[in-house]
Amino acid sequence: MSLLEVSRLKASYGEIQALHGVDLALDESSVTTVLGANGAGKTTLLRAICGTVSRTGEISFAGERIDAAPTASIIRRGIGHVPEGRGTFVKLSVEDNLKLGAYARRDRGAAAEDMERVYGYFPVLAERRRQQAGTLSGGEQQMLAIGRALMSRPRLLVLDEPSFGLAPKIVSMIFEIMARIRDERQAALLLVEQNAALALDFADHAYLLETGRMIRAGRAADLREDAAIRRAYLGY
Protein backbone atom coordinates (compact mmCIF):
# COMPACT_ATOMS: atom_id res chain seq x y z
CA MET A 1 0.00 0.00 0.00
CA SER A 2 1.23 3.45 -0.83
CA LEU A 3 2.07 5.90 1.91
CA LEU A 4 0.37 8.72 0.05
CA GLU A 5 -2.30 8.21 -2.55
CA VAL A 6 -3.91 11.08 -4.40
CA SER A 7 -6.63 10.57 -6.95
CA ARG A 8 -8.77 12.88 -9.07
CA LEU A 9 -7.53 15.83 -7.04
CA LYS A 10 -8.95 19.19 -8.03
CA ALA A 11 -8.11 22.50 -6.41
CA SER A 12 -8.98 26.09 -7.10
CA TYR A 13 -8.35 29.62 -5.94
CA GLY A 14 -11.76 31.23 -6.08
CA GLU A 15 -12.87 31.01 -9.70
CA ILE A 16 -9.56 29.85 -11.03
CA GLN A 17 -9.05 26.13 -11.11
CA ALA A 18 -5.41 25.19 -10.65
CA LEU A 19 -5.60 21.38 -10.58
CA HIS A 20 -7.85 19.40 -12.91
CA GLY A 21 -7.94 15.91 -11.44
CA VAL A 22 -4.43 14.88 -10.50
CA ASP A 23 -3.33 11.35 -9.52
CA LEU A 24 -0.18 10.62 -7.59
CA ALA A 25 1.09 7.82 -5.36
CA LEU A 26 4.29 7.36 -3.42
CA ASP A 27 5.69 4.68 -1.16
CA GLU A 28 7.23 4.72 2.29
CA SER A 29 10.86 5.98 2.24
CA SER A 30 10.74 6.77 -1.48
CA VAL A 31 11.77 10.00 -3.18
CA THR A 32 9.34 11.55 -5.62
CA THR A 33 9.66 14.75 -7.53
CA VAL A 34 7.03 16.79 -9.31
CA LEU A 35 8.31 18.86 -12.21
CA GLY A 36 6.59 21.52 -14.18
CA ALA A 37 6.84 25.06 -15.43
CA ASN A 38 5.88 28.13 -13.46
CA GLY A 39 2.14 28.06 -12.83
CA ALA A 40 1.74 24.38 -13.65
CA GLY A 41 0.17 23.80 -10.25
CA LYS A 42 3.11 22.29 -8.35
CA THR A 43 2.73 24.43 -5.25
CA THR A 44 -1.03 24.05 -5.40
CA LEU A 45 -0.63 20.27 -5.42
CA LEU A 46 1.39 20.39 -2.20
CA ARG A 47 -1.05 22.85 -0.66
CA ALA A 48 -3.98 20.67 -1.61
CA ILE A 49 -2.37 17.63 0.01
CA CYS A 50 -1.91 19.61 3.24
CA GLY A 51 -5.31 21.24 2.98
CA THR A 52 -4.27 24.87 2.81
CA VAL A 53 -6.23 25.36 -0.39
CA SER A 54 -9.80 24.21 -1.05
CA ARG A 55 -9.83 20.91 -2.90
CA THR A 56 -11.94 17.95 -3.93
CA GLY A 57 -10.87 14.43 -4.68
CA GLU A 58 -9.40 11.62 -2.64
CA ILE A 59 -6.23 11.85 -0.58
CA SER A 60 -5.13 8.97 1.63
CA PHE A 61 -2.13 9.05 3.90
CA ALA A 62 -0.94 5.87 5.63
CA GLY A 63 -4.24 4.23 4.75
CA GLU A 64 -6.49 6.97 6.12
CA ARG A 65 -8.47 9.55 4.20
CA ILE A 66 -7.19 13.07 4.92
CA ASP A 67 -9.00 15.07 2.26
CA ALA A 68 -11.57 16.40 4.72
CA ALA A 69 -9.21 16.94 7.65
CA PRO A 70 -8.01 20.40 8.73
CA THR A 71 -4.37 21.20 7.98
CA ALA A 72 -3.13 21.02 11.56
CA SER A 73 -4.53 17.48 11.88
CA ILE A 74 -3.00 16.40 8.56
CA ILE A 75 0.40 17.64 9.75
CA ARG A 76 -0.06 15.79 13.02
CA ARG A 77 -0.51 12.52 11.16
CA GLY A 78 3.07 12.72 10.00
CA ILE A 79 3.50 15.09 7.08
CA GLY A 80 6.24 17.71 7.35
CA HIS A 81 5.72 20.65 5.00
CA VAL A 82 8.56 22.94 3.93
CA PRO A 83 6.53 25.73 2.35
CA GLU A 84 7.27 27.97 -0.56
CA GLY A 85 9.00 31.06 0.82
CA ARG A 86 10.19 29.05 3.84
CA GLY A 87 7.57 30.32 6.30
CA THR A 88 10.10 31.43 8.90
CA PHE A 89 8.82 32.76 12.22
CA VAL A 90 10.99 35.83 11.75
CA LYS A 91 10.63 37.33 15.22
CA LEU A 92 11.40 34.10 17.05
CA SER A 93 14.81 32.63 17.70
CA VAL A 94 16.19 29.84 15.54
CA GLU A 95 15.77 27.43 18.43
CA ASP A 96 12.14 28.47 19.01
CA ASN A 97 11.45 27.91 15.31
CA LEU A 98 12.75 24.37 15.67
CA LYS A 99 10.85 23.79 18.91
CA LEU A 100 7.67 24.75 17.09
CA GLY A 101 8.37 22.02 14.58
CA ALA A 102 7.98 19.54 17.41
CA TYR A 103 4.93 21.29 18.85
CA ALA A 104 2.48 18.54 17.95
CA ARG A 105 4.67 15.83 19.47
CA ARG A 106 4.19 14.52 22.96
CA ASP A 107 7.57 12.80 23.37
CA ARG A 108 9.65 15.78 24.49
CA GLY A 109 12.77 13.70 25.11
CA ALA A 110 12.95 12.34 21.59
CA ALA A 111 12.22 15.83 20.25
CA ALA A 112 15.34 17.10 22.02
CA GLU A 113 17.33 14.33 20.31
CA ASP A 114 15.88 15.35 16.97
CA MET A 115 16.94 18.93 17.58
CA GLU A 116 20.53 17.74 18.00
CA ARG A 117 20.13 15.73 14.81
CA VAL A 118 18.94 18.83 12.94
CA TYR A 119 21.87 20.81 14.33
CA GLY A 120 24.05 17.96 13.07
CA TYR A 121 22.67 18.37 9.55
CA PHE A 122 22.93 22.16 9.68
CA PRO A 123 25.76 23.24 12.02
CA VAL A 124 25.20 26.88 11.06
CA LEU A 125 21.79 26.74 12.75
CA ALA A 126 23.42 25.55 15.98
CA GLU A 127 25.78 28.52 15.85
CA ARG A 128 22.84 30.86 15.44
CA ARG A 129 20.38 29.16 17.74
CA ARG A 130 19.74 32.27 19.86
CA GLN A 131 19.54 34.63 16.89
CA GLN A 132 16.27 36.08 15.60
CA ALA A 133 15.34 33.87 12.65
CA GLY A 134 14.49 36.87 10.45
CA THR A 135 18.15 37.88 10.45
CA LEU A 136 19.26 34.62 8.82
CA SER A 137 20.28 34.58 5.17
CA GLY A 138 17.93 33.03 2.62
CA GLY A 139 19.90 29.78 2.55
CA GLU A 140 19.96 29.56 6.32
CA GLN A 141 16.23 30.18 6.46
CA GLN A 142 15.74 27.34 3.96
CA MET A 143 17.81 25.07 6.20
CA LEU A 144 15.71 26.21 9.15
CA ALA A 145 12.51 25.41 7.26
CA ILE A 146 13.74 21.89 6.49
CA GLY A 147 14.97 21.43 10.05
CA ARG A 148 11.65 22.62 11.44
CA ALA A 149 9.73 20.14 9.28
CA LEU A 150 12.09 17.32 10.35
CA MET A 151 11.41 18.16 14.00
CA SER A 152 7.99 16.57 13.74
CA ARG A 153 9.72 13.32 12.66
CA PRO A 154 7.46 13.10 9.61
CA ARG A 155 6.83 9.97 7.60
CA LEU A 156 6.52 12.19 4.56
CA LEU A 157 8.52 15.35 4.03
CA VAL A 158 7.03 17.70 1.46
CA LEU A 159 9.39 20.32 0.03
CA ASP A 160 8.31 23.26 -2.10
CA GLU A 161 11.20 24.53 -4.23
CA PRO A 162 13.94 24.39 -1.62
CA SER A 163 16.44 25.75 -4.15
CA PHE A 164 14.43 28.85 -5.02
CA GLY A 165 16.41 32.08 -5.01
CA LEU A 166 19.57 30.53 -3.57
CA ALA A 167 23.15 30.64 -4.80
CA PRO A 168 24.29 27.42 -6.55
CA LYS A 169 26.73 26.63 -3.75
CA ILE A 170 23.97 26.81 -1.14
CA VAL A 171 21.65 24.77 -3.35
CA SER A 172 24.13 21.92 -3.66
CA MET A 173 24.66 22.04 0.10
CA ILE A 174 20.95 21.76 0.74
CA PHE A 175 20.66 18.88 -1.71
CA GLU A 176 23.55 17.12 0.02
CA ILE A 177 21.66 17.26 3.29
CA MET A 178 18.46 16.13 1.61
CA ALA A 179 20.40 13.23 0.15
CA ARG A 180 21.52 12.30 3.66
CA ILE A 181 17.92 12.40 4.84
CA ARG A 182 16.98 10.25 1.84
CA ASP A 183 19.80 7.76 2.36
CA GLU A 184 19.11 7.41 6.06
CA ARG A 185 15.54 6.62 5.01
CA GLN A 186 14.17 8.87 7.71
CA ALA A 187 11.17 9.84 5.65
CA ALA A 188 9.65 9.66 2.21
CA LEU A 189 10.30 12.85 0.27
CA LEU A 190 7.99 14.68 -2.10
CA LEU A 191 9.94 17.38 -3.84
CA VAL A 192 8.68 20.12 -6.08
CA GLU A 193 11.46 21.74 -8.09
CA GLN A 194 12.03 24.08 -10.98
CA ASN A 195 15.57 22.83 -11.31
CA ALA A 196 14.58 19.68 -13.21
CA ALA A 197 18.07 18.25 -13.71
CA LEU A 198 18.83 18.44 -10.03
CA ALA A 199 15.48 16.98 -9.06
CA LEU A 200 15.66 14.07 -11.53
CA ASP A 201 19.11 13.10 -10.34
CA PHE A 202 17.86 13.16 -6.78
CA ALA A 203 14.53 11.34 -7.04
CA ASP A 204 13.44 7.72 -7.62
CA HIS A 205 10.16 8.65 -9.26
CA ALA A 206 9.03 11.70 -11.15
CA TYR A 207 5.78 13.27 -12.24
CA LEU A 208 5.36 15.96 -14.82
CA LEU A 209 2.65 18.53 -14.23
CA GLU A 210 1.38 20.80 -16.98
CA THR A 211 -1.38 23.38 -16.47
CA GLY A 212 -2.96 21.42 -13.67
CA ARG A 213 -2.73 17.94 -15.24
CA MET A 214 -0.25 15.11 -14.75
CA ILE A 215 1.05 14.42 -18.22
CA ARG A 216 3.86 12.00 -17.40
CA ALA A 217 4.84 9.71 -14.58
CA GLY A 218 7.64 7.21 -14.25
CA ARG A 219 11.07 6.43 -12.93
CA ALA A 220 13.16 9.54 -12.61
CA ALA A 221 15.98 7.95 -14.62
CA ASP A 222 13.59 7.22 -17.52
CA LEU A 223 12.22 10.73 -17.58
CA ARG A 224 15.75 12.08 -17.58
CA GLU A 225 16.42 10.18 -20.85
CA ASP A 226 13.15 11.25 -22.48
CA ALA A 227 13.91 13.48 -25.44
CA ALA A 228 10.84 15.71 -25.12
CA ILE A 229 11.43 16.30 -21.44
CA ARG A 230 15.08 17.02 -22.05
CA ARG A 231 14.21 19.65 -24.59
CA ALA A 232 11.47 21.28 -22.53
CA TYR A 233 12.81 21.07 -19.01
CA LEU A 234 16.50 20.29 -19.12
CA GLY A 235 17.40 22.58 -21.98
CA TYR A 236 19.62 20.34 -24.07
Partner 1 sequence: MDLFIQQILAGLAVGGIYASLALALVMIYQATEHVNFAQGEMAMFSTYIAWSLIQAGFPYWAAFFATLLISFIAGVVIERVIVRPIQGSILSVVVVFIGLLVILHSLAGWIYTYTQKSFPSPMPDMAVMGVNLQELAAIGVTLVVLFLIFAFFRWTPLGLAMRAAAQNPESAVLVGIHVGWMLALGWGLAAAVGAVAGMMVAPKLTLDPSMMGSVLIYAFAGALLGGISSPGGAVIGGFAVGILENLIGTYVPVVGNELKLTVALILIIGVLIVKPSGMFGQTVTVRV
User: Under rule CB under 8 A, which residues in 128-167 are in contact with partner 1?
Assistant: 132, 134-138, 141, 148-149, 152, 165
Tell me how far apart the alpha carbons of residues 203 and 222 are, in angstroms, rounded to a whole number. Answer: 11
Q: Tell me: does residue 124 bind partner 1 (CB under 8 A).
A: no
Q: Tell me: does residue 100 bind partner 1 (CB under 8 A).
A: yes
CB of 236 to partner 1, least distance (A): 31
Tell me how far apart the alpha carbons of residues 221 and 167 are, in angstroms, rounded to a whole number. Answer: 26
Q: Which amino acid is present at 213?
A: R
DSSP summary character for residue 90: T
- 91/169 with CB nearer partner 1: 91
| Phi, psi for residue 228 in degrees, rounded to 5 | -65, -45
Which residue in 176, 188, 180 sits closest to 139, CA to CA?
Answer: 176
Q: Which of 83, 147, 162, 212 binds partner 1 (CB under 8 A)?
A: 83
- 19/151 with CB nearer partner 1: 151
Q: Tell me: does residue 48 bind partner 1 (CB under 8 A).
A: no
Q: Which amino acid is present at 56?
A: T
- 121/233 with CB nearer partner 1: 121
Ordered alpha helix ranges (H), the chain: 42-50, 71-76, 94-101, 108-121, 123-127, 138-150, 168-183, 196-202, 220-225, 227-229
Q: Which of 81, 128, 153, 205 binds partner 1 (CB under 8 A)?
A: 81
Q: Tell me: does residue 50 bind partner 1 (CB under 8 A).
A: yes
Which residue in 148, 37, 41, 132 sits closest to 92, CA to CA?
Answer: 132
CB of 51 to partner 1, least distance (A): 9
Task: Tell me the site size for partner 1, rule CB under 8 A.
Answer: 33
Q: Tell me: does residue 54 bind partner 1 (CB under 8 A).
A: no
Tell me how far apart the alpha carbons of residues 143 and 234 are, in angstroms, rounded to a whole number. Answer: 26
Q: Tell me: does residue 76 bind partner 1 (CB under 8 A).
A: yes
Residues in contact with partner 1 by CB under 8 A are 50, 52, 70-73, 75-76, 81, 83, 87-92, 96, 99-101, 103-104, 132, 134-138, 141, 148-149, 152, 165
